[in-house]
Amino acid sequence: MLLLRYSRIFGGQKSDDPMTLRAYAKINLGLHVVGKRPDGYHNIETVFHQIDLFDEIEIVQSDEGPQFVSDVPGLPSDSSNLCIRAMNVLRDLTGCHSGVEITLRKRIPIGAGLGGGSTDAAAVLRGLVKLWNSDITDDELKTMSATLGSDVPYFLIGGTAYATGRGEVLEPCDLSVPYWILVVTPPLHVSTSWAYAKLSLAEGTRRLHIPTLLRASLKNPAKLREGLRNEFEPVVFDAYPEVRRIKQTLLDRGAALALMSGTGSSVFGFFEDEVAVRTLSDEFSLSCHVSVTKPLFNPEPN
């Protein structure tokens, strides 16, 4: 159980000691938009996969009211910040209004399709549940987290998961990626709402079941490239040719697969050759944010 897991992780920690959590980023191993829902959202199909890139969230009990600080100049500290919203929603649900100070050390690029805001919110929820010794159930926490963002429930469990619905219906996947993963994020922000507004939903589109495709073809690059797709790529590539160029460069330089994550602007590549990854990482780092994840990566438990 999720809460039991975190009780074991943080067991014995004093409430006045800082609690530091890693909030890992994700990539989307394929992304299909199945249709629009009556509530205005969209049903999607994707596989979320954690990578070795993370923000750090430090939480400590405070004698004063809630405080939030970060190392990102100009980052809002009001209710528009997902960390603050996560804290406020949990306070309302549990009735706990103890003072707390949250410090964010940001390493995941903002607005890059890597889930940076959502993973931070999930880390705040996990930390505060333990700090306040809340008896909130897993189902309550999951339901509440979905009000913060469609992918926040995923970041409560992490790892690799098949996601449907708005992204909140999750099925853990036993999938180990045997490639080096290079993620390249150019210095531009793609609005998720803009991307959805621009997307044309084709009726009767035939889509492969992503988990089945990954299990059958993960070690077959040709089939992986043929079958795995992100349906936002045409929209984003037309408006931001730089993102298209990054994907093509990764493929030209030996990537077994290259795909945009989320609604962009990050593009990731699967590589068998570490030297190629390190060389490309050095080249792209002159103009982009880059991260490298080793094969068979497994996040450290918080």
Burial 195-217, CB ≥16 within 10 A → b, else e:
bbeebeeeeeeeebebbebbeeb
Q: Considering the entire predicted model, what is its pTM?
A: 0.91
3-state secondary structure 9-71: HHCCCCCCCCEEEEEEEEEEEEEEEEEECCCCCEEEEEEEEEEEEEEEEEEEECCCCCEEEEC
Q: Render each residue's pLDDT in the chain as its tens digit; 302 residues.
A: 333 333 323 333 445 678 999 999 999 999 999 988 998 889 999 999 999 999 999 999 988 778 899 999 888 888 889 999 999 999 998 888 888 999 999 999 999 999 999 999 999 999 999 999 988 888 899 999 999 999 999 999 999 999 999 999 999 999 999 999 999 999 999 999 999 999 987 655 778 999 999 999 999 999 999 999 999 999 999 999 999 999 999 999 999 999 999 999 999 999 999 999 999 999 999 999 999 999 999 888 77
- Domains along the chain with CATH numbers: 2-172 (3.30.230.10), 180-293 (3.30.70.890)
> Cα angle vertex 282, ends 278, 288, to 5°?
120
Answer yes or no: are the C-beta atoms of 173 and 30 closer than 8 Å.
no
Select which of 26, 130, 142, 247 is catalytic. Answer: 26
Cis bond upstream, residue 265 (ω within 30): yes
223 is a catalytic site residue: no
151 is a catalytic site residue: yes
Select which of 138, 151, 223, 282 is catalytic. Answer: 151
Task: State the Cα–Cα distance between residues 293 and 291, nearest whole angstrom.
Answer: 7
Residue 268 — φ and ψ, nearest 5°?
-115, 155
